[in-house]
Amino acid sequence: MDLGLDVEERDGFAVLSVRGEVDVYTAPRFRERLIELVSEGKHRIIVDLEGVDFLDSTGLGVLVGGLKRLRSHDGDLLLVCTQSRILKVFEITGLTKVFSIHDSVDAAVGGGSDGGATT
């Protein structure tokens, strides 16, 4: 099973685009990539989940861990997600209130609340 993890710079943010299925098998690679970015000094990270087909609680754990790590560096972790089946996982666990979730990378970079709050 393939997990795609691509990074690009965008207006002071590192945008990590995730593709494929995030579960107990692939989550460790996702976690390592996030930790690498933080240790490279990238403290403002956007995780783009639009290419994710499946995400379970291990994936949520990686994101919660990433947010915690970034906040300890005065950074932030923003999410891009519009797929209802992925958003549902955040809604059930109450994590929509923890993460800033945006409709597009543009909206996340813009930082406004326009594209966010997909609750």
Partner 1 sequence: MTDRELAGGVIELEIPARAEFVALARLVVSALASSDSTLADERIDDLKLAVSEACTNAIEAHDAAGSVERVLVRCQAGTDALEVCVEDRGHGFDPSDLPDHPPVTDPDRLKFERGLGIPLIRALVDEVEFSPTEEGTSVRLVMRLGPNGAGPS
Strands (E), 11-97: 13-22, 44-55, 76-80
41 in contact with partner 1 (CB under 8 A): no
Residue reference for tokens 């709050």: 117
- Whether the Cβ atoms of residue 82 and residue 115 lie closer than 8 Å to each other: no
Identity of the residue, 7 or 95, whose beta carbon is nearer to partner 1 in the bound complex: 95
Residues 9-28, interacting with partner 1 (CB under 8 A)? 21, 23-25
64 in contact with partner 1 (CB under 8 A): yes
Strand pairing category for 44-55 and 13-22: parallel
102: nearest Cα among 84, 119, 80: 80
CB under 8 A: which stretch of 5-13, 37-45, 90-98, 108-116 binds partner 1? 90-98
The count of residues interacting with partner 1 (CB under 8 A) is 25
Residues that bind partner 1 (CB under 8 A): 1, 21, 23-25, 54, 56-58, 60-62, 64-65, 67-68, 71, 85, 89, 92-95, 97-98
